[in-house]
Chains A and B, each alone.
Chain A
Amino acid sequence: MLFLEIIRVALGSLRSNPMRSGLTMLGVIIGVAAVITMVALGTGAQSAVEERIQSLGSDLLTVRGGFTMSFGPARSRSQTLTTDDATAILEGTTSVTAVVPEYEGNAQIEMGNNNLNTEVLGTWANWAEVNNWELEAGRFFNQVEAEGRRRVAVLGYEVAEQLIPTNVDPVGANVRIRGISFEVLGVLAAKGAGFGPTSQDEIVVIPLSTAQWRVFGNDRLSSMTVRMADESMMNMAMAEIEVILRRQHRLRPDQDNDFFIASQSQFMDLMAESSQTFTLLLAGIASVSLIVGGIGIMNIMLVSVTERTREIGIRKAIGATRGSIQQQFLIEAIVLSCVGGGLGVALAVFASNAMSEQLGWTMVIPTDAVILSFGFAALIGVVFGFYPAMRASRLDPIESLRFE
């Protein structure tokens, strides 16, 4: 039987039952769309991380408080860094030109009837300069305000947008953080998407001393950003910081560090890696739905074979071989899964565009994910179409012709 003829027959029989064909394809459509969208989400997150790595100064190091063992079953992450450590690093090293201590916490922030829960960052006055943040409006707080535990705040772009009514000038406005009144000094320029759904612009920056003493009641630090005089001093800076912190924390030679130091790009690499794992996980879950779609195809093809027993009998009586009957039904299944796969790709493109427009997430659809998931859909057509096609080809012509 000529190949084109088989495809024509397959399309004809699918067209003759459009409702059923559509519902059968739905499983594959959703499966393919889910796989591609998930991969697009993950790849988007990864590319956002990579973009950030490039925008970061390569002369920055991050120091974080590490894990410390405590007796008993509990193993807690403790905040081991203090403001004194920051001062000690700045004074005790030659390779370091700036230290920016940071305390991160979440707090409820209100203005009038508006309120939202967002990240509050306590830091020094040099934070914006070291991290290359521009200001949209107003100014950053200065050293006097920072050391004087003043209740002043700089809002991230997104926070200002959501919290401050449009007819109010954010600069000079009063907001309440955990019920404490703060004066808004400025608004940070927008930096855009961070990792997946989190935006870098959802942040409120206040002086470190205010955060520690007035808001969170904690004298520890979450992390420190350290700027070196020159990129080439990376190893030297890391060694110097380690010596100073071990001395500050009075660690004996046999004790492990209770902090760790990495360049910012190393941290980003780590995040990129974890987002990749996440992508694979999501794609794996989505491909399960693709397989379920394949089972749907098999189910419908089996029904179709039974329904068309008589047709098979006629075709066999006038000279169809087993092979040509098998091909006919196999190609029908493949057409189902390929058309479903194509529609799934279209749906994925549509969904990704909608998500990046409506939610502002970075979505990148990689070509190989499209090819791979489409190929997988076609393969599913072959695998799950094979058994029904074989059943059809083995039908006895005499019995089939008698079938009502």
Chain B
Amino acid sequence: MQTGNETGQSGSELVRPEGIIPYSSRLSVAPANDTIIQARGLEKFYQMARLQVRALDGVDLDVGRNEFVAIMGPSGSGKSTLMNLLGCLDTPTGGTYSLNGIEVSGLYDDELAAVRNREIGFVFQTFNLLARATSLHNVELPLVYSGVGARKRHQKAMAALDKVGLGDRADHRPNELSGGERQRVAVARALVNDPAIVLADEPTGNLDSKTSYEIMQLFVDLHANGQTIILVTHEDDIAAYSHRVVRVLDGKIVSDKRQVPLTATAAV
């Protein structure tokens, strides 16, 4: 199990610069900056028996505000590891990572949880909704953990559901929804806390092509409204919706190209 302590010991760069200062107070001093993600020399090593696996071997990555980036690579390339680090689900073995002006690489577990809660909206391949909860409750969940009161929570969650076109499905449970609808609920959940980035991990992997198109169209719309989006995929036609494609191989970035995105009309 990875903890903040281990990384704190592994290099001088990783010493927590501000000591144990609550995340919330750090947020207020975060500089207004057009760079949302800044990763330098990001490394992640796993020790397996006597063998050291270098899952991520020195990655530098900058992502600006309102970029739509696709991270691509075959399985085993380190793309999932990179996504876990960018999503603050894991801590790097070496290197630094700052998200929206917050130096994340030295944070402890609970501070990382707070960063995930406010700065990151996750969309997963398998939707990962709570099966027993209604759409509304699923979307409210991030707000519950950030301590938003019940009335405000309800308002914001309804607004997010409206944004993905599911305002009329608020009291349905996931098993009463289609796959596309479930993924829309997940997108609403990702958006509800106004995160700095939306991190989508193979969001269309479990959907048919028509529904995939609808979900991608939703991402295009969100991006048009100013949302920063990072998309992890191994499908070229899904990556085609993005403005920039970052390819990862053997734990390193092998190409980083801007492209003209596929427009909605061209896709039909």
Contacts and interface: CB of A to CB of B under 8 A. Distances in A.
Given A394-B1, A396-B1, A398-B84, A319 B130 contact: no
Given A1-B147, A401-B128, A318 B142 contact: yes
A135 interface: no
A13 interface: yes
Q: How large is the interface on B (under 10, 10 to 19, 20 to 34, 35 or more residues)?
A: 20 to 34
A319 B118 contact: yes
Contacts of B118: 319
Contacts of A198: none
Contact of B146 (A315, A317, A319, A394): A319
A320 interface: yes
Given A318-B117, A398-B90, A310 B128 contact: yes
B116 A318 contact: yes
Interface in A286-318: 310-311, 313-318
B68 interface: no
Nearest to B124: A401
Contacts of A12: 132
A315 B130 CA distance: 9
A181 interface: no
Interface string A302-345: 00000000110111111111111000000000000000000000
Given A314-B128, A397-B89, A398-B84, A321 B114 contact: yes
B130 A2 contact: no
Nearest to B192: A318
Contacts of B53: none
Nearest to A12: B132
A12 B132 CA distance: 8
Interface string B1-12: 110000000000
Chain B CB within 10 Å, residue with most, of A13, A16, A319: A319
Nearest to B147: A2
A318 B189 contact: yes
Nearest to B87: A317
Given A317-B116, A318-B117, A318-B189, A311 B130 contact: yes
Interface in A223-256: none
Range, interface on chain A: 20 to 34
A313 B114 CA distance: 15
A317 B116 CA distance: 7
B113 A319 contact: yes
Interface in A1-46: 1-2, 5, 12-13, 16
Given A314-B128, A314-B130, A319 B110 contact: no
A219 B1 CA distance: 85
A316 B88 CA distance: 11
Contact of A321 (B113, B128, B150): B113
Contacts, number: 63
Contact of B132 (A16, A313, A315, A321): A16
Interface string B108-122: 011001101110001
B132 A13 contact: yes
Contact of A2 (B84, B110, B144): B144
Contacts of B142: 318-319
Nearest to A311: B130
B56 to A, nearest CB: 14
Instruction: From B87, B109, B147, name the one whose CB has the most chain A CB atoms within 10 angstroms.
Output: B109
A114 B119 CA distance: 87
A318 B132 CA distance: 17
A316 B141 CA distance: 11
Interface of A is mostly: helix
A323 B111 CA distance: 12
B147 A317 contact: no
B145 A318 contact: yes
Contact of B117 (A13, A319, A398): A319
A314 B110 CA distance: 15
B82 to A, nearest CB: 13
Interface in A131-180: none
Contacts of A321: 109-110, 113-114, 145
Contacts of B110: 321-323
Given A1-B144, A319-B142, A321-B110, A398 B116 contact: no
Contact of B89 (A13, A315, A398): A398
B175 to A, nearest CB: 13
A396 B1 CA distance: 6
Contacts of A1: 144-145, 147
Contacts of A322: 109-110, 113
A316 to B, nearest CB: 7
A319 B114 contact: yes
Interface in B170-222: 189, 193
A319 B116 contact: yes
Interface in B109-160: 109-110, 113-114, 116-118, 122, 124, 128-130, 132, 141-142, 144-147, 150
B128 A319 contact: no
A361 B144 CA distance: 54
A396 B2 contact: yes
B145 A324 contact: yes
Interface in B66-110: 84, 87, 89-90, 109-110
A317 B89 contact: yes
A13 B137 CA distance: 14
26 contacts: A2-B144, A2-B147, A16-B132, A311-B130, A313-B128, A315-B141, A316-B113, A316-B116, A317-B116, A317-B122, A318-B117, A318-B142, A318-B145, A318-B189, A319-B113, A319-B114, A319-B142, A319-B193, A321-B145, A322-B110, A322-B113, A323-B110, A324-B145, A396-B1, A398-B89, A398-B90
Interface of A: 1-2, 5, 12-13, 16, 310-311, 313-324, 394, 396-398, 401
Given A13-B132, A317-B87, 17 more contacts: A2-B144, A12-B132, A16-B132, A313-B128, A315-B145, A317-B116, A317-B128, A319-B145, A319-B146, A320-B113, A321-B145, A322-B110, A323-B110, A394-B1, A396-B1, A397-B89, A398-B90
Q: 6 closest pairs, A vs B, by CB?
A: A319-B117, A319-B145, A321-B110, A321-B113, A318-B142, A314-B128
